[in-house]
Chain A
Amino acid sequence: MIVVLAIGFWAGLALKIGIMAAIVPVVALPIIFAELKLSAHMQHRIGPYFAGGRYGWAQPLADGLKFFQKEDLVPDAADKMVYKLAPYLVLGAAMAVFVVIPFGPDLIGRDLDLGVFYALAISSISTIGVLIAGWSSGNKYSLIGGLRAAAQLIAYELPLFLAVVGVVIQAQTMSMIGIIDAQAEYQLFGLEIAGNAIAIPYVFPQFIGFVIFYIAALAELSRTPFDMPIAESELVMGYLTEYSGFRFAVFFIGEYIGIFTMSAIMATLWLGGYDPLFFDLSGLNDIAANAIGALVLFGKVAILVFLMIWMRWTFPRFREDQLQDLAWRILIPLGLANIAVTAFFKVVF
């Protein structure tokens, strides 16, 4: 952010916030479109077809416009202020994670020393948004959905953090850039191509951690097979039941931004982030390195997002007790074992 440094703190801050506000919804739209299109083809349908002329590319925009023109309903029984606030809490929490996502060597909101900690802590705030949305709607389905979400998100917060600890121990830093640099230098068995050492992303040594984080991230995002909070066949739409119009759209966008940020955190911690791994970015000039870095990160995120969509349209929903069973009896012990083994190898070697 060389430009930003030159124009002073407050102007730079305003610019950063402006860029974020402009980019973030744009990030959600392709993911929504991918979801529509991939789900359709996985079910032997075409999906959106006419919107925008070809392939229905404008369908997410059309859906957004539809949400804008709908009435903003507030139930009589609702706790009005909390009800109105909830969607923005969810969206705000999802957007705040963008601060520490490194899109390139310099393309980062702020490289905090506690980057990973910040990302996970701030993304947990959306849980509170979901809970108060369910509570304030004045609807029994919303309440059950909100409480289910709370139970689920608390259960899966633990494996999520435990999985990250393995990476943090191995990289010996919590800064996102620091973890990427550690992966760029990390080597396994001295593998080489033409004299250049191959950088090994942490997905290989920390594979168990990656799988735990992936499953826990699916649960954090309330995506199938962990979508009990909005289970349509049981709870109408869970905590979203009473929301309509723009507030529903905000929840919706927040959900898809959450998918992007979770995937970006995964790509950074386990897949080497913006680092293409097979060649070195530091040899290029600043602009090229940042552009390539951003593209590489988006590519890695696209793979992870595809995997999420693929799982969503394949797996049936867990039962509530199966979900808790998976978190407390499998993922958490596995995460603890992963930390112990990682620490052991870190000390011994």
Chain B
Amino acid sequence: MTTRNMIPGLAKGMWITLKTLFKRVPTVQYPLEKEIPVPRARGVIALDTEACTVCMLCSRECPDWCIYIEGHKEEQPPSKPGGRPRTRATLDRFDIDYALCMYCGICVEVCPFDALFWSPEFEYSEYGISEMLHDKDRLTDWLATVPDPPALES
């Protein structure tokens, strides 16, 4: 018969809903209250232009090629009189297209001069897809939100 032995099952279900009734609701009312992301959250990538040497490694390693870099070389006067003039790479353009970026973090891993950093900021949605392209200045602005690196293990 279908109705035999259904009492324990019913009681179990009732107990679960009662327990859930008195649990704290995990909902966060987003615009009014914000969840604090963990410090190492992959929110947005920040750029330190001083450290960048225009080596293009990040651009080449990027799986979906969302990093656009342009640069040129500048001649610098020799450090000593009579010496050889030095060349220095200068960054003209550094764009990351967040419409393409898949937040894999390979660019941050691969950068040999520590010019790219993860920042936990996440509120940079836009109305147009073209506005998801962050240029050099915007990427540099994110640098202020980068948390301090975790302490080294002794």
Seen from chain A, the residues whose Cβ lies within 8 Å of a Cβ on chain B are: 38, 41-46, 49, 310-311, 313-315, 322, 325-326, 329-330
B23 in the interface (beta carbon within 8 A):
yes
* Contact (A44, B14) CB under 8 Å given A325-B2, A325-B3, A326-B3: no
Looking at the complex, which one of A310, A322, A329 makes contact with B17 (CB distance below 8 Å)?
Answer: A310
Could you tell me if B29 and A41 are in contact, using CB atoms closer than 8 angstroms? no
A311 to B17, CA, bound (A): 9
Could you tell me if A310 and B14 are in contact, using CB atoms closer than 8 angstroms? yes
A330 to B3, CA, bound (A): 9
Shortest distance from the beta carbon of A41 to any chain B beta carbon, whole Å:
5
Beyond A45-B25, A46-B25, A314-B13, 10 additional contacts (C-beta under 8 Å) are A38-B21, A42-B21, A44-B20, A44-B23, A44-B26, A46-B27, A46-B29, A310-B17, A322-B3, A330-B3
A46 to B16, CA, bound (A): 17
Seen from chain B, the residues whose Cβ lies within 8 Å of a Cβ on chain A are: 1-3, 10, 13-14, 16-18, 20-21, 23, 25-27, 29
Looking at the complex, which one of A45, A315, A329 makes contact with B13 (CB distance below 8 Å)?
Answer: A315
A344 to B10, CA, bound (A): 33
Could you tell me if A310 and B18 are in contact, using CB atoms closer than 8 angstroms? yes
A329 to B4, CA, bound (A): 12
Q: Give me 30 A-to-B residue pairs in the complex whose CB atoms sit less than 8 angstroms apart, sorted by A's number.
A: A38-B21, A41-B20, A41-B21, A41-B25, A42-B17, A42-B20, A43-B20, A44-B20, A44-B25, A44-B26, A45-B25, A45-B27, A46-B25, A46-B27, A46-B29, A49-B29, A310-B14, A310-B17, A310-B21, A311-B14, A314-B10, A314-B13, A314-B14, A314-B17, A315-B10, A315-B13, A322-B2, A325-B2, A329-B1, A330-B3
Q: Which residues of A contact B14 (CB under 8 A)?
A: 310-311, 314
| Leading 8 A-B pairs by shortest Cβ distance | A314-B17, A42-B17, A314-B13, A46-B27, A41-B21, A42-B21, A322-B2, A46-B25
> Which residue of the partner chain A has the closest CB to B3?
A326
Could you tell me if B20 and A325 are in contact, using CB atoms closer than 8 angstroms? no
Shortest distance from the beta carbon of A330 to any chain B beta carbon, whole Å:
6
Q: Which residues of A contact B16 (CB under 8 A)?
A: 314
Shortest distance from the beta carbon of B32 to any chain A beta carbon, whole Å:
10
Q: Which residues of B contact A330 (CB under 8 A)?
A: 3
Q: Which residues of B contact A326 (CB under 8 A)?
A: 3
Shortest distance from the beta carbon of B9 to any chain A beta carbon, whole Å:
10
Q: Which residues of A contact B2 (CB under 8 A)?
A: 322, 325
Shortest distance from the beta carbon of A109 to any chain B beta carbon, whole Å:
35
* Max chain B C-beta neighbours (<10 A), residue from A41, A322, A326: A41
> Which residue of the partner chain B has the closest CB to A47?
B25
A50 to B21, CA, bound (A): 20
* Max chain B C-beta neighbours (<10 A), residue from A44, A311, A322: A44
A315 to B27, CA, bound (A): 24
Q: Which residues of B contact A44 (CB under 8 A)?
A: 20, 23, 25-26
Q: Which residues of B contact A45 (CB under 8 A)?
A: 25, 27
Q: Which residues of B contact A329 (CB under 8 A)?
A: 1
Q: Which residues of A contact B13 (CB under 8 A)?
A: 314-315
A322 to B3, CA, bound (A): 8
Q: Which residues of A contact B18 (CB under 8 A)?
A: 310
* Max chain A C-beta neighbours (<10 A), residue from B2, B20, B21: B21
